[in-house]
Structure 1
Protein backbone atom coordinates (compact mmCIF):
# COMPACT_ATOMS: atom_id res chain seq x y z
CA UNK A 1 0.00 0.00 0.00
CA UNK A 2 1.43 3.38 -0.96
CA UNK A 3 1.29 6.45 1.21
CA UNK A 4 -1.09 8.07 -1.21
CA UNK A 5 -3.44 5.10 -1.05
CA UNK A 6 -3.63 5.07 2.74
CA UNK A 7 -5.19 8.56 2.86
CA UNK A 8 -9.01 8.52 2.90
CA UNK A 9 -11.86 10.96 2.58
CA UNK A 10 -13.71 12.63 5.44
CA UNK A 11 -16.80 14.84 5.36
CA UNK A 12 -15.95 17.10 8.30
CA UNK A 13 -12.81 18.21 10.10
CA UNK A 14 -12.94 19.09 13.79
CA UNK A 15 -10.20 20.72 15.84
CA UNK A 16 -10.44 20.94 19.63
CA UNK A 17 -8.08 23.16 21.59
CA UNK A 18 -7.97 21.40 24.96
CA UNK A 19 -7.43 22.45 28.58
CA UNK A 20 -6.21 20.62 31.64
CA UNK A 21 -7.19 23.40 34.05
CA UNK A 22 -9.04 22.75 37.29
CA UNK A 23 -12.74 23.58 37.34
CA UNK A 24 -15.91 22.89 35.42
CA UNK A 25 -16.11 25.29 32.45
CA UNK A 26 -13.04 26.28 30.48
CA UNK A 27 -12.66 29.20 28.10
CA UNK A 28 -9.40 27.55 27.08
CA UNK A 29 -11.34 24.83 25.26
CA UNK A 30 -12.37 25.81 21.72
CA UNK A 31 -14.06 23.74 19.02
CA UNK A 32 -14.04 24.46 15.27
CA UNK A 33 -15.41 22.52 12.30
CA UNK A 34 -14.52 22.72 8.60
CA UNK A 35 -16.70 21.14 5.93
CA UNK A 36 -15.11 19.07 3.19
CA UNK A 37 -17.43 20.80 0.72
CA UNK A 38 -15.66 24.11 1.39
CA UNK A 39 -16.27 27.39 3.16
CA UNK A 40 -14.45 28.85 6.15
CA UNK A 41 -14.14 26.87 9.37
CA UNK A 42 -16.78 27.63 11.99
CA UNK A 43 -16.50 27.91 15.77
CA UNK A 44 -18.95 25.87 17.80
CA UNK A 45 -20.16 28.41 20.38
CA UNK A 46 -19.97 27.91 24.14
CA UNK A 47 -20.53 31.36 25.72
CA UNK A 48 -19.70 30.19 29.23
CA UNK A 49 -16.90 27.88 28.15
CA UNK A 50 -16.95 24.13 27.51
CA UNK A 51 -16.86 21.39 30.11
CA UNK A 52 -14.81 18.30 29.38
CA UNK A 53 -17.95 16.20 29.84
CA UNK A 54 -19.65 18.23 27.10
CA UNK A 55 -16.73 17.59 24.75
CA UNK A 56 -17.00 13.87 25.50
CA UNK A 57 -20.67 14.01 24.53
CA UNK A 58 -19.81 15.83 21.31
CA UNK A 59 -17.25 13.17 20.50
CA UNK A 60 -19.52 10.20 21.13
CA UNK A 61 -22.97 11.52 20.20
CA UNK A 62 -23.08 14.81 18.34
CA UNK A 63 -20.27 15.34 15.86
CA UNK A 64 -21.22 14.49 12.26
CA UNK A 65 -20.43 11.00 11.06
CA UNK A 66 -17.22 10.52 9.06
CA UNK A 67 -15.34 13.31 10.85
CA UNK A 68 -11.60 13.62 11.35
CA UNK A 69 -11.34 14.95 14.92
CA UNK A 70 -8.13 16.47 16.26
CA UNK A 71 -7.48 16.80 20.00
CA UNK A 72 -4.71 19.17 21.04
CA UNK A 73 -3.10 17.02 23.73
CA UNK A 74 -0.62 14.20 24.13
CA UNK A 75 -2.31 10.83 23.81
CA UNK A 76 0.43 9.11 25.83
CA UNK A 77 3.64 9.62 27.81
CA UNK A 78 7.23 8.79 26.87
CA UNK A 79 7.90 5.06 27.00
CA UNK A 80 10.53 4.01 24.45
CA UNK A 81 13.36 6.11 25.93
CA UNK A 82 13.29 4.21 29.25
CA UNK A 83 11.30 1.11 28.24
CA UNK A 84 8.54 2.15 30.64
CA UNK A 85 6.26 5.09 31.38
CA UNK A 86 7.31 4.99 35.04
CA UNK A 87 10.62 3.10 35.33
CA UNK A 88 10.96 1.31 38.65
CA UNK A 89 7.24 1.35 39.47
CA UNK A 90 5.90 -2.19 39.37
CA UNK A 91 2.44 -0.92 38.40
CA UNK A 92 3.73 0.98 35.35
CA UNK A 93 1.27 0.23 32.49
CA UNK A 94 2.42 -1.74 29.43
CA UNK A 95 0.82 0.47 26.74
CA UNK A 96 -1.14 3.65 26.09
CA UNK A 97 -4.60 2.17 26.61
CA UNK A 98 -3.54 0.72 29.97
CA UNK A 99 -2.12 4.14 30.87
CA UNK A 100 -5.49 5.78 30.10
CA UNK A 101 -7.26 3.26 32.31
CA UNK A 102 -4.76 3.79 35.14
CA UNK A 103 -5.11 7.59 35.06
CA UNK A 104 -8.89 7.32 35.00
CA UNK A 105 -8.97 4.81 37.86
CA UNK A 106 -6.69 6.84 40.14
CA UNK A 107 -8.68 10.01 39.34
CA UNK A 108 -12.12 8.39 39.68
CA UNK A 109 -13.11 10.77 42.49
CA UNK A 110 -11.82 13.90 40.71
CA UNK A 111 -14.65 16.07 39.39
CA UNK A 112 -14.88 17.42 35.83
CA UNK A 113 -12.55 14.77 34.41
CA UNK A 114 -9.59 16.45 36.05
CA UNK A 115 -6.39 14.59 36.91
CA UNK A 116 -5.31 16.11 40.22
CA UNK A 117 -5.21 12.78 42.04
CA UNK A 118 -2.77 11.36 39.51
CA UNK A 119 -0.46 14.37 39.67
CA UNK A 120 -0.49 14.20 43.48
CA UNK A 121 -0.28 10.40 43.70
CA UNK A 122 2.54 9.44 46.12
CA UNK A 123 4.32 7.36 43.46
CA UNK A 124 3.21 8.94 40.16
CA UNK A 125 4.19 12.42 41.39
CA UNK A 126 7.85 11.33 41.48
CA UNK A 127 7.92 11.38 37.68
CA UNK A 128 6.51 14.90 37.15
CA UNK A 129 7.75 18.47 37.47
CA UNK A 130 5.08 20.37 39.39
CA UNK A 131 4.52 23.96 40.50
CA UNK A 132 6.32 25.35 43.50
CA UNK A 133 9.67 23.90 42.55
CA UNK A 134 8.42 20.37 43.15
CA UNK A 135 10.42 18.24 40.75
CA UNK A 136 9.98 14.53 41.26
CA UNK A 137 13.10 12.49 41.81
CA UNK A 138 12.33 10.48 38.67
CA UNK A 139 11.53 13.46 36.41
CA UNK A 140 14.92 13.16 34.74
CA UNK A 141 16.10 16.77 34.90
CA UNK A 142 16.49 19.30 32.11
CA UNK A 143 13.51 19.56 29.78
CA UNK A 144 12.31 16.12 30.78
CA UNK A 145 11.54 13.04 28.71
CA UNK A 146 10.08 13.08 25.20
CA UNK A 147 8.14 10.68 23.02
CA UNK A 148 9.46 9.68 19.61
CA UNK A 149 6.88 11.89 17.91
CA UNK A 150 7.96 14.89 19.99
CA UNK A 151 11.58 14.37 18.97
CA UNK A 152 10.35 14.38 15.36
CA UNK A 153 8.41 17.60 16.05
CA UNK A 154 11.63 19.26 17.20
CA UNK A 155 13.33 18.30 13.93
CA UNK A 156 10.50 20.12 12.12
CA UNK A 157 11.27 23.33 14.01
CA UNK A 158 8.67 22.99 16.77
CA UNK A 159 9.37 23.44 20.48
CA UNK A 160 7.61 20.56 22.21
CA UNK A 161 7.28 20.26 25.98
CA UNK A 162 7.61 17.02 27.89
CA UNK A 163 4.25 15.63 29.01
CA UNK A 164 5.90 15.02 32.39
CA UNK A 165 6.34 18.79 32.77
CA UNK A 166 3.33 20.44 34.43
CA UNK A 167 4.87 23.92 34.81
CA UNK A 168 4.62 26.93 32.50
CA UNK A 169 2.06 28.47 30.17
CA UNK A 170 3.09 26.26 27.25
CA UNK A 171 3.06 22.93 29.14
CA UNK A 172 0.64 20.30 27.89
CA UNK A 173 1.08 17.70 30.64
CA UNK A 174 -2.14 18.56 32.47
CA UNK A 175 -4.09 18.67 29.21
CA UNK A 176 -2.71 15.29 28.28
CA UNK A 177 -3.62 13.65 31.59
CA UNK A 178 -7.19 15.00 31.59
CA UNK A 179 -7.44 14.05 27.93
CA UNK A 180 -6.49 10.47 28.78
CA UNK A 181 -9.60 10.22 30.94
CA UNK A 182 -11.66 11.19 27.89
CA UNK A 183 -9.73 8.84 25.61
CA UNK A 184 -10.36 5.97 28.01
CA UNK A 185 -14.10 6.59 27.63
CA UNK A 186 -13.81 6.46 23.84
CA UNK A 187 -12.60 2.85 23.91
CA UNK A 188 -14.89 0.75 21.73
CA UNK A 189 -16.82 3.85 20.67
CA UNK A 190 -14.42 5.93 18.57
CA UNK A 191 -10.99 4.90 17.20
CA UNK A 192 -7.93 6.88 18.22
CA UNK A 193 -5.22 6.76 15.52
CA UNK A 194 -2.58 5.26 15.47
CA UNK A 195 -3.29 3.37 18.69
CA UNK A 196 -6.23 2.10 16.66
CA UNK A 197 -5.70 1.51 12.95
CA UNK A 198 -7.24 3.99 10.53
CA UNK A 199 -10.77 2.71 9.79
CA UNK A 200 -11.95 2.50 6.19
CA UNK A 201 -14.95 4.65 7.05
CA UNK A 202 -16.47 6.58 9.93
CA UNK A 203 -14.95 9.08 12.33
CA UNK A 204 -11.51 8.89 13.90
CA UNK A 205 -9.66 10.90 16.56
CA UNK A 206 -6.06 12.04 16.09
CA UNK A 207 -3.63 13.93 18.29
CA UNK A 208 -2.88 17.40 16.94
CA UNK A 209 -0.29 20.05 17.71
CA UNK A 210 -1.75 23.39 16.68
CA UNK A 211 1.69 24.88 16.03
CA UNK A 212 2.04 22.48 13.08
CA UNK A 213 -1.13 23.89 11.53
CA UNK A 214 0.04 27.45 12.14
CA UNK A 215 3.39 26.71 10.50
CA UNK A 216 1.61 25.22 7.49
CA UNK A 217 -0.40 28.45 7.37
CA UNK A 218 2.74 30.57 7.08
CA UNK A 219 3.47 31.30 10.74
CA UNK A 220 6.75 30.52 12.50
CA UNK A 221 6.93 28.23 15.51
CA UNK A 222 7.71 31.23 17.75
CA UNK A 223 4.77 33.21 16.32
CA UNK A 224 2.23 30.44 16.03
CA UNK A 225 -0.40 32.20 18.14
CA UNK A 226 -2.87 34.36 16.18
CA UNK A 227 -4.72 37.11 18.02
CA UNK A 228 -6.45 39.15 15.32
CA UNK A 229 -9.08 38.25 12.72
CA UNK A 230 -6.97 39.96 10.08
CA UNK A 231 -4.01 37.65 10.74
CA UNK A 232 -6.39 34.72 10.98
CA UNK A 233 -7.75 35.37 7.50
CA UNK A 234 -4.21 35.52 6.11
CA UNK A 235 -3.45 32.15 7.69
CA UNK A 236 -6.68 30.64 6.35
CA UNK A 237 -5.90 31.92 2.86
CA UNK A 238 -2.51 30.21 3.02
CA UNK A 239 -4.38 26.97 3.70
CA UNK A 240 -6.71 27.47 0.74
CA UNK A 241 -9.65 28.37 2.96
CA UNK A 242 -12.11 31.25 2.52
CA UNK A 243 -11.74 33.96 5.18
CA UNK A 244 -14.03 34.57 8.13
CA UNK A 245 -14.19 38.21 7.06
CA UNK A 246 -14.24 39.66 10.57
CA UNK A 247 -12.11 42.39 12.14
CA UNK A 248 -10.54 42.95 15.52
CA UNK A 249 -9.06 40.69 18.18
CA UNK A 250 -9.66 36.98 18.65
CA UNK A 251 -8.46 34.77 21.48
CA UNK A 252 -5.72 32.34 20.53
CA UNK A 253 -7.71 29.28 21.64
CA UNK A 254 -10.37 30.07 19.04
CA UNK A 255 -7.84 30.92 16.34
CA UNK A 256 -5.87 27.73 17.07
CA UNK A 257 -9.02 25.66 16.58
CA UNK A 258 -10.09 27.50 13.41
CA UNK A 259 -6.70 27.29 11.71
CA UNK A 260 -6.24 23.65 12.66
CA UNK A 261 -9.68 22.65 11.38
CA UNK A 262 -8.85 24.27 8.03
CA UNK A 263 -5.44 22.58 8.03
CA UNK A 264 -6.91 19.14 8.76
CA UNK A 265 -9.10 19.54 5.68
CA UNK A 266 -6.02 19.67 3.45
CA UNK A 267 -3.58 17.61 5.55
CA UNK A 268 -5.92 14.61 5.69
CA UNK A 269 -5.24 13.99 2.00
CA UNK A 270 -1.49 13.65 2.58
CA UNK A 271 -0.73 9.94 2.73
CA UNK A 272 2.65 10.58 4.38
CA UNK A 273 0.88 11.87 7.47
CA UNK A 274 -0.94 8.56 7.86
CA UNK A 275 2.23 6.51 7.36
CA UNK A 276 5.06 8.57 8.88
CA UNK A 277 8.62 7.33 8.51
CA UNK A 278 9.31 7.25 12.26
CA UNK A 279 6.18 5.36 13.29
CA UNK A 280 5.97 1.60 13.81
CA UNK A 281 3.49 -0.69 15.54
CA UNK A 282 5.31 -0.63 18.87
CA UNK A 283 5.52 3.15 18.99
CA UNK A 284 1.86 3.40 18.02
CA UNK A 285 0.73 1.19 20.91
CA UNK A 286 3.06 2.65 23.54
CA UNK A 287 3.35 6.34 22.70
CA UNK A 288 0.88 7.21 19.95
CA UNK A 289 1.77 9.87 17.36
CA UNK A 290 1.00 13.45 16.41
CA UNK A 291 -0.89 13.75 13.12
CA UNK A 292 1.08 15.88 10.67
CA UNK A 293 4.50 14.70 11.84
CA UNK A 294 5.88 12.75 8.89
Structure 2
Protein backbone atom coordinates (compact mmCIF):
# COMPACT_ATOMS: atom_id res chain seq x y z
CA UNK A 1 0.00 0.00 0.00
CA UNK A 2 1.49 3.34 -1.05
CA UNK A 3 2.15 5.65 1.92
CA UNK A 4 0.11 8.41 0.26
CA UNK A 5 -2.85 6.18 -0.73
CA UNK A 6 -5.21 7.81 1.80
CA UNK A 7 -5.76 11.45 2.69
CA UNK A 8 -7.96 10.79 5.73
CA UNK A 9 -8.31 8.00 8.28
CA UNK A 10 -11.68 7.40 9.95
CA UNK A 11 -12.66 5.02 12.76
CA UNK A 12 -16.30 4.39 13.62
CA UNK A 13 -17.32 2.74 16.87
CA UNK A 14 -20.65 1.17 15.89
CA UNK A 15 -23.70 0.12 17.89
CA UNK A 16 -26.43 -2.44 17.40
CA UNK A 17 -28.64 -1.09 20.20
CA UNK A 18 -32.35 -0.49 19.77
CA UNK A 19 -33.52 3.05 19.07
CA UNK A 20 -33.28 5.95 16.68
CA UNK A 21 -30.03 7.38 18.07
CA UNK A 22 -27.12 5.61 19.70
CA UNK A 23 -24.81 7.02 22.37
CA UNK A 24 -22.55 4.07 21.57
CA UNK A 25 -21.67 5.40 18.12
CA UNK A 26 -18.58 7.59 17.79
CA UNK A 27 -16.80 8.80 14.66
CA UNK A 28 -13.20 10.05 14.69
CA UNK A 29 -10.80 11.10 11.95
CA UNK A 30 -7.25 12.26 11.34
CA UNK A 31 -5.08 13.28 8.42
CA UNK A 32 -1.59 12.07 7.44
CA UNK A 33 1.20 13.19 9.73
CA UNK A 34 1.11 13.38 13.49
CA UNK A 35 -1.74 15.79 14.26
CA UNK A 36 -4.14 14.58 16.93
CA UNK A 37 -7.28 12.80 15.77
CA UNK A 38 -10.57 14.53 16.42
CA UNK A 39 -14.19 13.57 16.87
CA UNK A 40 -16.60 14.25 14.04
CA UNK A 41 -19.58 16.25 15.32
CA UNK A 42 -18.52 16.14 18.99
CA UNK A 43 -21.53 15.93 21.28
CA UNK A 44 -23.76 14.68 18.49
CA UNK A 45 -25.83 11.58 19.22
CA UNK A 46 -25.56 9.66 15.97
CA UNK A 47 -28.18 7.56 14.26
CA UNK A 48 -27.10 4.73 12.00
CA UNK A 49 -28.60 6.61 9.07
CA UNK A 50 -26.50 9.66 10.05
CA UNK A 51 -23.38 7.53 9.78
CA UNK A 52 -24.44 6.15 6.40
CA UNK A 53 -25.00 9.63 5.01
CA UNK A 54 -21.75 10.95 6.45
CA UNK A 55 -19.70 8.05 5.05
CA UNK A 56 -21.18 8.47 1.59
CA UNK A 57 -20.29 12.17 1.69
CA UNK A 58 -16.84 11.69 3.25
CA UNK A 59 -13.88 13.27 1.47
CA UNK A 60 -12.30 11.20 -1.28
CA UNK A 61 -9.44 8.86 -0.42
CA UNK A 62 -10.65 8.17 3.12
CA UNK A 63 -9.82 4.86 4.78
CA UNK A 64 -12.95 4.20 6.85
CA UNK A 65 -12.88 1.55 9.55
CA UNK A 66 -16.05 0.15 11.12
CA UNK A 67 -15.84 -1.70 14.43
CA UNK A 68 -18.33 -4.40 13.51
CA UNK A 69 -18.38 -7.88 12.04
CA UNK A 70 -19.34 -7.57 8.37
CA UNK A 71 -20.12 -11.25 7.98
CA UNK A 72 -20.74 -14.53 9.80
CA UNK A 73 -18.82 -17.80 10.02
CA UNK A 74 -18.96 -19.81 6.81
CA UNK A 75 -15.87 -21.98 6.31
CA UNK A 76 -16.37 -24.14 9.40
CA UNK A 77 -19.71 -25.54 8.16
CA UNK A 78 -19.58 -24.68 4.46
CA UNK A 79 -22.51 -22.28 4.94
CA UNK A 80 -23.63 -19.35 7.05
CA UNK A 81 -26.75 -21.26 8.10
CA UNK A 82 -26.24 -24.98 7.48
CA UNK A 83 -29.53 -26.77 6.97
CA UNK A 84 -31.40 -23.70 5.72
CA UNK A 85 -32.18 -23.76 2.01
CA UNK A 86 -32.06 -19.95 1.83
CA UNK A 87 -28.58 -19.71 3.33
CA UNK A 88 -26.74 -17.16 1.15
CA UNK A 89 -23.68 -18.15 -0.91
CA UNK A 90 -21.55 -15.12 0.00
CA UNK A 91 -21.40 -12.07 2.23
CA UNK A 92 -23.05 -9.62 -0.13
CA UNK A 93 -25.99 -11.96 -0.52
CA UNK A 94 -26.08 -12.21 3.28
CA UNK A 95 -26.28 -8.42 3.57
CA UNK A 96 -29.16 -8.42 1.11
CA UNK A 97 -30.99 -11.18 2.98
CA UNK A 98 -30.66 -9.43 6.35
CA UNK A 99 -31.87 -6.18 4.84
CA UNK A 100 -34.81 -7.82 3.08
CA UNK A 101 -36.03 -9.68 6.16
CA UNK A 102 -35.64 -6.51 8.26
CA UNK A 103 -37.28 -4.16 5.78
CA UNK A 104 -39.92 -3.16 8.34
CA UNK A 105 -37.43 -2.66 11.19
CA UNK A 106 -36.73 1.07 11.70
CA UNK A 107 -33.32 2.67 12.25
CA UNK A 108 -31.44 -0.12 10.43
CA UNK A 109 -32.33 -2.52 13.23
CA UNK A 110 -32.15 -6.28 12.71
CA UNK A 111 -34.74 -7.65 15.14
CA UNK A 112 -36.76 -9.40 12.46
CA UNK A 113 -33.75 -11.35 11.28
CA UNK A 114 -32.81 -12.85 14.65
CA UNK A 115 -36.48 -13.64 15.29
CA UNK A 116 -36.87 -15.39 11.93
CA UNK A 117 -37.88 -19.02 12.39
CA UNK A 118 -34.83 -20.38 10.53
CA UNK A 119 -32.21 -17.74 11.28
CA UNK A 120 -32.97 -17.83 15.01
CA UNK A 121 -31.80 -21.43 15.19
CA UNK A 122 -28.22 -20.22 14.71
CA UNK A 123 -28.09 -17.45 17.34
CA UNK A 124 -27.83 -17.20 21.11
CA UNK A 125 -30.53 -14.73 22.15
CA UNK A 126 -31.75 -13.20 25.38
CA UNK A 127 -34.02 -15.09 27.73
CA UNK A 128 -32.05 -18.32 27.51
CA UNK A 129 -33.03 -18.80 23.89
CA UNK A 130 -30.08 -20.55 22.27
CA UNK A 131 -30.74 -21.94 18.84
CA UNK A 132 -30.14 -25.63 18.29
CA UNK A 133 -27.53 -24.77 15.63
CA UNK A 134 -25.65 -22.14 17.64
CA UNK A 135 -22.89 -24.52 18.64
CA UNK A 136 -21.04 -24.66 21.95
CA UNK A 137 -19.06 -22.26 24.11
CA UNK A 138 -18.65 -18.83 22.56
CA UNK A 139 -20.15 -20.09 19.33
CA UNK A 140 -18.85 -20.31 15.77
CA UNK A 141 -15.96 -18.09 14.74
CA UNK A 142 -14.78 -16.76 11.41
CA UNK A 143 -11.26 -17.57 10.21
CA UNK A 144 -10.15 -14.02 11.03
CA UNK A 145 -11.45 -14.45 14.58
CA UNK A 146 -9.42 -17.64 15.01
CA UNK A 147 -6.42 -15.59 13.85
CA UNK A 148 -7.35 -12.91 16.41
CA UNK A 149 -7.28 -15.53 19.15
CA UNK A 150 -3.87 -16.69 17.96
CA UNK A 151 -2.68 -13.09 18.39
CA UNK A 152 -3.92 -12.93 21.97
CA UNK A 153 -7.31 -11.30 21.37
CA UNK A 154 -10.59 -12.59 22.84
CA UNK A 155 -13.18 -12.35 20.06
CA UNK A 156 -16.78 -13.41 20.51
CA UNK A 157 -18.91 -15.08 17.89
CA UNK A 158 -21.04 -12.82 15.70
CA UNK A 159 -23.79 -15.40 16.34
CA UNK A 160 -23.93 -14.37 20.02
CA UNK A 161 -26.49 -11.68 20.87
CA UNK A 162 -26.24 -11.89 24.67
CA UNK A 163 -24.07 -10.10 27.24
CA UNK A 164 -21.91 -7.00 27.39
CA UNK A 165 -19.33 -8.51 25.02
CA UNK A 166 -21.82 -9.58 22.36
CA UNK A 167 -21.09 -8.31 18.87
CA UNK A 168 -23.90 -9.96 16.92
CA UNK A 169 -26.32 -7.03 16.99
CA UNK A 170 -23.64 -4.62 15.80
CA UNK A 171 -22.76 -7.03 13.02
CA UNK A 172 -26.31 -7.52 11.76
CA UNK A 173 -27.23 -3.84 11.86
CA UNK A 174 -23.91 -3.13 10.19
CA UNK A 175 -24.79 -5.50 7.37
CA UNK A 176 -27.82 -3.37 6.58
CA UNK A 177 -25.54 -0.35 6.26
CA UNK A 178 -23.01 -2.29 4.17
CA UNK A 179 -25.78 -3.40 1.84
CA UNK A 180 -26.49 0.30 1.20
CA UNK A 181 -22.80 0.97 0.54
CA UNK A 182 -22.50 -1.89 -1.94
CA UNK A 183 -21.74 -0.48 -5.37
CA UNK A 184 -21.15 2.98 -3.94
CA UNK A 185 -18.06 2.46 -1.79
CA UNK A 186 -15.75 -0.58 -1.93
CA UNK A 187 -15.64 -2.69 1.22
CA UNK A 188 -12.39 -4.64 1.64
CA UNK A 189 -11.83 -7.56 1.19
CA UNK A 190 -15.25 -8.28 -0.33
CA UNK A 191 -14.20 -5.71 -2.93
CA UNK A 192 -10.64 -5.22 -4.13
CA UNK A 193 -8.97 -1.92 -3.34
CA UNK A 194 -9.35 0.08 -6.58
CA UNK A 195 -6.22 2.05 -5.72
CA UNK A 196 -8.02 5.38 -5.51
CA UNK A 197 -10.95 6.92 -3.68
CA UNK A 198 -12.31 5.84 -0.31
CA UNK A 199 -12.28 2.32 1.06
CA UNK A 200 -14.15 0.69 3.96
CA UNK A 201 -12.55 -1.94 6.22
CA UNK A 202 -13.47 -3.85 9.35
CA UNK A 203 -11.53 -2.81 12.45
CA UNK A 204 -11.19 -4.24 15.95
CA UNK A 205 -10.47 -1.47 18.43
CA UNK A 206 -8.76 -3.87 20.83
CA UNK A 207 -5.97 -4.34 18.27
CA UNK A 208 -5.33 -0.61 18.26
CA UNK A 209 -5.34 -0.57 22.05
CA UNK A 210 -2.90 -3.48 22.21
CA UNK A 211 -0.52 -1.86 19.72
CA UNK A 212 -0.72 1.36 21.73
CA UNK A 213 0.50 -0.44 24.85
CA UNK A 214 -2.77 -1.00 26.66
CA UNK A 215 -2.70 -4.17 28.83
CA UNK A 216 -4.93 -7.07 27.88
CA UNK A 217 -8.30 -6.70 29.57
CA UNK A 218 -7.79 -2.94 29.99
CA UNK A 219 -8.24 -1.74 26.44
CA UNK A 220 -10.90 0.80 27.39
CA UNK A 221 -9.69 4.33 28.14
CA UNK A 222 -11.99 6.59 30.13
CA UNK A 223 -9.80 9.60 30.73
CA UNK A 224 -7.91 11.92 28.40
CA UNK A 225 -4.56 11.22 30.05
CA UNK A 226 -4.78 7.49 29.32
CA UNK A 227 -5.88 8.16 25.75
CA UNK A 228 -3.00 10.57 25.14
CA UNK A 229 -0.48 8.12 26.55
CA UNK A 230 -1.75 5.52 24.06
CA UNK A 231 -1.74 8.03 21.21
CA UNK A 232 1.88 8.88 21.95
CA UNK A 233 2.88 5.25 21.44
CA UNK A 234 1.35 5.46 17.96
CA UNK A 235 3.31 8.63 17.17
CA UNK A 236 0.30 10.90 17.44
CA UNK A 237 0.03 14.27 19.09
CA UNK A 238 -2.26 14.56 22.09
CA UNK A 239 -5.91 15.47 21.97
CA UNK A 240 -6.71 18.64 23.95
CA UNK A 241 -8.37 18.65 27.32
CA UNK A 242 -8.30 16.75 30.59
CA UNK A 243 -10.64 14.61 32.63
CA UNK A 244 -13.08 11.92 31.62
CA UNK A 245 -13.95 10.67 28.15
CA UNK A 246 -16.42 7.96 27.18
CA UNK A 247 -14.84 4.76 25.91
CA UNK A 248 -16.67 4.90 22.56
CA UNK A 249 -15.01 8.21 21.75
CA UNK A 250 -11.59 7.10 23.00
CA UNK A 251 -11.82 3.86 20.99
CA UNK A 252 -12.63 5.79 17.82
CA UNK A 253 -9.92 8.42 18.38
CA UNK A 254 -7.21 5.88 19.10
CA UNK A 255 -8.18 3.60 16.21
CA UNK A 256 -8.20 6.48 13.72
CA UNK A 257 -4.59 7.20 14.71
CA UNK A 258 -3.81 3.47 14.53
CA UNK A 259 -5.18 3.26 10.98
CA UNK A 260 -2.95 6.17 9.99
CA UNK A 261 0.08 4.45 11.50
CA UNK A 262 -0.60 1.06 9.89
CA UNK A 263 -2.41 1.55 6.58
CA UNK A 264 0.86 1.40 4.62
CA UNK A 265 1.82 -2.07 5.90
CA UNK A 266 1.53 -4.49 2.98
CA UNK A 267 1.30 -7.57 5.21
CA UNK A 268 -1.94 -6.30 6.75
CA UNK A 269 -3.54 -6.23 3.30
CA UNK A 270 -2.31 -9.73 2.42
CA UNK A 271 -2.69 -12.04 5.44
CA UNK A 272 -1.80 -15.64 4.52
CA UNK A 273 -5.19 -17.10 5.49
CA UNK A 274 -7.18 -14.61 3.41
CA UNK A 275 -8.08 -16.72 0.40
CA UNK A 276 -10.46 -15.53 -2.34
CA UNK A 277 -13.16 -17.79 -0.85
CA UNK A 278 -12.72 -16.27 2.62
CA UNK A 279 -12.69 -12.77 1.14
CA UNK A 280 -16.05 -13.40 -0.55
CA UNK A 281 -17.78 -15.07 2.38
CA UNK A 282 -16.35 -14.20 5.80
CA UNK A 283 -14.23 -11.14 5.11
CA UNK A 284 -11.30 -10.11 7.27
CA UNK A 285 -10.40 -7.76 10.11
CA UNK A 286 -7.80 -5.22 9.01
CA UNK A 287 -4.77 -5.54 11.26
CA UNK A 288 -5.00 -9.32 11.75
CA UNK A 289 -2.18 -11.33 10.21
Q: CA deviation at 1:126?
A: 0.6
1:14: which partner in 2?
A: 10
Does 1:80 find its partner at 2:75?
yes
2:212: which partner in 1?
A: 217
- TM-score scaled by structure 1? 0.96
2:49: which partner in 1?
A: 53
Inter-CA distance 6–148: structure 2 relative to 1 (3 Å threshold): farther
Q: CA deviation at 1:6?
A: 6.9
Runs (4+) of structure 1 exceeding 4 A deviation are 5-8
Distance 2:159 2:82 in 1: 13
Superposed CA deviations along residues 108-158 of structure 1, whole A, max 9, x for unmatched, are 000000000001111100100001111011101211000000000001110
> Please, what is the CA RMSD of the aligned residues?
1.1
* DSSP-derived class of the 2:208 partner: helix
Does 1:237 find its partner at 2:232?
yes
1:142: which partner in 2?
A: 137
Of 270, 273, 276, the match for 1:275: 270
Distance 2:88 2:183 in 1: 19
* DSSP-derived class of the 1:118 partner: helix
* DSSP-derived class of the 1:77 partner: coil
* DSSP-derived class of the 2:264 partner: coil
1:248: which partner in 2?
A: 243
Superposed CA deviations along residues 209-266 of structure 1, whole A, max 9, x for unmatched, are 0000000100123111111100000000000000013211110000000000000001
Instruction: Identify unmatched segments of 5+ residues in structure 2.
Output: none
1:34: which partner in 2?
A: 30
**Could you tell me whether the CA contact under 8 Å between 2:5 and 2:195 is conserved in 1?**
no
* DSSP-derived class of the 1:221 partner: coil
Distance 1:284 1:77 in 2: 12
Instruction: Identify unmatched segments of 5+ residues in structure 1.
Output: none
Does 1:132 find its partner at 2:127?
yes
Of 22, 30, 40, the match for 1:44: 40
Q: CA deviation at 1:85?
A: 0.3
Distance 2:184 2:206 in 1: 28
- TM-score scaled by structure 2? 0.98
Q: CA deviation at 1:7?
A: 6.8
Aligned length: 289
Q: CA deviation at 1:170?
A: 1.2
Q: CA deviation at 1:48?
A: 4.6
* DSSP-derived class of the 1:50 partner: coil
Does 1:117 find its partner at 2:97?
no
Distance 1:263 1:46 in 2: 20
* DSSP-derived class of the 2:217 partner: helix
Distance 1:7 1:79 in 2: 33
